[in-house]
Amino acid sequence: MPDFYIAPSILSADFARLGEEVTQVIAAGADWIHFDVMDNHYVPNLTFGPMVCQALKPYASVPLDVHLMVEPVDEMISAFARAGADIITFHPEASRHIDRSLSLIRDAGCQAGLVLNPATPVYVLEHVLDKLDVVLLMSVNPGFGGQQFIAQTLHKVSQVRSLLDMYYGENGRRIRLEVDGGIKADNIAAVAAAGADTFVAGSAIFGQADYAQAIAEMRQALSNVRC
Ligand code: DX5
Ligand code: ZN
């Protein structure tokens, strides 16, 4: 039975009160804080950079999970590591040298991950598993919160679960499998049953008045999942 983590995405939080929002969602039971960095280049939207990450760091008593949707990535990896990121993930399409970018993250003392878009094939993981602490599968096209979960992702989750289980069998090291986009209390169990252990949720948590109740409903749904 894996440890299920819930990672609220502050993309859907009130940007005028971000510190307070982070405090509240951690009190409500968040395991990680998911921090969506968009550059209006790799994705058609613009959010926040390392200065905002640094400002939020004192509020984050749980790991800061920085999802880079930027191109190029290497400069931002260093900047976010300095700004207090604990986990840094990026999209392979946004780096000229994926292996080097992953090393930059680990060398900076952070956990490293690759993010696969809905149409990005799983084989990009194959030669870099030793450098990964997390695989993040997008279940929407990146750029916006509040989109609908792409059901096809479930097959991909199972496929990556098999790959990571095989890797664990051979190396004894667990790589987390995180899913991002359109996750809600009514589909989280299906995503977990397919093999995910970490769940990003933005609108499904910050769109509710009671964050603790929103997270509790997700945990309740997860409690019935057999792995
Ligand atoms: C989308 C972001 C997601 C987003 C998820 O590009 O990577 O993290 O915040 O939002 P919801 O949970 O509302 O789909
Ligand atoms: Zn994200």
Quick check: is 116 in a domain? yes
Residue ranges making up the domain that contains 152: 5-222
Ligand nearest to the CA of 117: 1
CA dist., res. 101 & res. 151, Å (int): 30
User: Which percentage of the chain shows pLDDT scores above 70?
Assistant: 99
Total-model pTM = 0.98
Quick check: is 190 in a domain? yes
Quick check: is 57 in a domain? yes
Interval 168-195 mean pLDDT: 98
Quick check: is 19 in a domain? yes
Quick check: is 227 in a domain? no
Annotation says 165 is catalytic: no
Which pLDDT tens digit goes with each residue over 71-95? 999 999 999 999 999 999 999 999 9
Cβ neighbour number for residue 144 with a 10 Å cutoff = 17
Interval 171-185 mean pLDDT: 98
Q: Which two tokens stand for residue 114?
A: 């690759």
The Å distance, Cα 143 to ligand 2 centre, comes to: 8
Quick check: is 200 in a domain? yes
Interval 186-198 mean pLDDT: 98
The residue assigned the tokens 């990026």 is 90
Quick check: is 93 in a domain? yes
- Distant-in-sequence, close-in-space partners of 78: CB < 8 Å, separation ≥ 6: 104, 108
Residue 184, ligand 1, Cβ within 6 A: no
Which pLDDT tens digit goes with each residue over 118-140? 999 999 999 999 999 999 999 99
Span between the terminal Cα atoms of the chain, in Å: 6
Give pLDDT, residue 1. Answer: 44
Ligand 1 atom nearest residue 142's Cα: 6
Which pLDDT tens digit goes with each residue over 46-56? 999 999 999 99
The Å distance, Cα 223 to ligand 1 centre, comes to: 23
State the pairing for strand pair 64-69/87-90: parallel
Residue 13, ligand 1, Cβ within 6 A: no
- Domains identified in the chain, total number: 1
Strand blocks (E) in the chain = 5-8, 33-38, 64-69, 87-90, 111-116, 134-138, 176-180, 198-201
CA dist., res. 205 & res. 74, Å (int): 31
Give pLDDT, residue 224. Answer: 87
Give pLDDT, residue 226. Answer: 77
Banded pLDDT at 25 (limits 50, 70, 90): very high
CA dist., res. 183 & res. 200, Å (int): 7
**Residue whose CA is at the smallest distance from ligand 1 atom 10:** 145
User: Which CATH number belongs to the domain containing residue 60 in this structure?
Assistant: 3.20.20.70
CA dist., res. 120 & res. 74, Å (int): 20
